[in-house]
Structure 1
Amino acid sequence: MKTALLVIDVQNGMFQEGEAVYKGEGLLRKINKVIDQARLYQMPIFYIQHNEPAGWPLEFGKEGWEIHPEIKPCNQDVIIQKKSPDSFLNTTLEAELNKKEVEHVILMGIQTEVCVDTTCRRAFSLGYKVTLVSDAHSTWDSDDLTAQGIINHHNRILRWFADVCSSDEVVGSMGKSDCVRSKG
């Protein structure tokens, strides 16, 4: 089964001083670990880049919109532009995955309860096998929940739509059989 890696919205604007995504430095390390392993196995890598209107942190073409330099795409990687939480809605993502005959997507990135959640559910609904990297997606505290609480909740809920595996499990399973669905 051909697999691709989706890196969702890991852009400079998500790491602004004083408003950085929860555990951002650790997130970047885990994402890079998975990217490095994917490159080793020549897995297609898709970077999803969110576009916001003027004045917003991810304003198209501005520094905050750029993909974080610690996970810089290579020439063979595909960058998909989006304007909604759904990485498939009004984008070229599905067509690009089809061109590469991808049947399984591994998801990582930002923001857990918005773009990661929506893309996970949509990929499942479109018939892809989905793996969510449980320790390589993040968010911010809300008025009601901590960022860690939101991440934990989504790791439990999204098991209905994806295999939920740690970055170590995903890295260890590349080139072998698929990650086994975590229980819990």
Structure 2
Amino acid sequence: MADALLIIDMQTGLYDGPEKPFERERVLHTINQLIQRARRAGKPIYVACHTGPAGSPIEAGSPLWQPWHALDVDASRDHLFNKSRPSCFLGTDLEQHLKAAHVDELVIAGMKTQFCIDTTCRVAVELGFSVVLPQDAHTCMDTPALKAEAIIEHHNATLTGAFVKRVKAAEVFF
């Protein structure tokens, strides 16, 4: 049973930017289902917002920096925090919050698969956390080299075993 949910970079500027994430509506719905299950179980929800430097389109507090309006997060009870690197741990107090909440197993969802999802999964394991990656609860955009679907499939396969326990979101229990 998972102890906490971490949602990464589901922000207006990324989710609703000029390049749309692969299957974005389905992924949003899936993440919102995870949020509801974590809430019902009384488990903490952490929401990472990628934050650019002052003057950038995603500087803290800007319209594009905000969590996507249909993401079912609540700043009054969920733990929203800023990050400026692909790792949700580098330069943040996430590790301290997770340890204070006695989190051993962390569910990770959001975007972008090949950057922040991949990096955060790997670092979390290095820090001693067990990671559950719902294979259908993270996404990204097409790149010049690969379609988003191939990127997601590749990372689901690559991270499984050494870094994450890969499951379908419907199989995640808090």
TM-score (norm 2): 0.93
Residue 144 of structure 1, CA deviation: 1.1
d(CA) in 1 for partners of 2:87, 2:17: 27
Contact 2:32-2:72 at 8 Å conserved across structures: no
Aligned position for 1:106: 107
Q: Which moved more, 1:97-106 or 1:115-124?
A: 97-106
Contact 1:2-1:101 at 8 Å conserved across structures: no
CA RMSD of aligned residues (A): 1.5
Residue 71 of structure 1, CA deviation: 1.6
Contact 1:5-1:45 at 8 Å conserved across structures: yes
Runs of 4+ in structure 1 over 6 Å off:
none
Change (3 A) 1:17 1:110: closer
SS at match of 1:114: helix
Matched, 1:38 2:38: yes
Contact 2:35-2:72 at 8 Å conserved across structures: no
Contact 1:132-1:163 at 8 Å conserved across structures: yes
Question: Which fold has the larger relative contact order, with Cα–Cα distance below 8 Å and residues 6 or more apart in sequence?
Answer: 2
Identity over the aligned pairs, expressed in percent? Answer: 37
Listed as ranges, the gaps of 5+ residues in structure 2 are: none
d(CA) in 2 for partners of 1:73, 1:33: 11
TM-score (norm 1): 0.88
Aligned position for 2:52: 52
d(CA) in 1 for partners of 2:21, 2:57: 13
Q: Which moved more, 1:159-168 or 1:111-120?
A: 159-168
SS at match of 1:47: strand
Aligned position for 1:164: 166
Listed as ranges, the gaps of 5+ residues in structure 1 are: 176-184
d(CA) in 2 for partners of 1:62, 1:41: 32
d(CA) in 2 for partners of 1:20, 1:55: 23
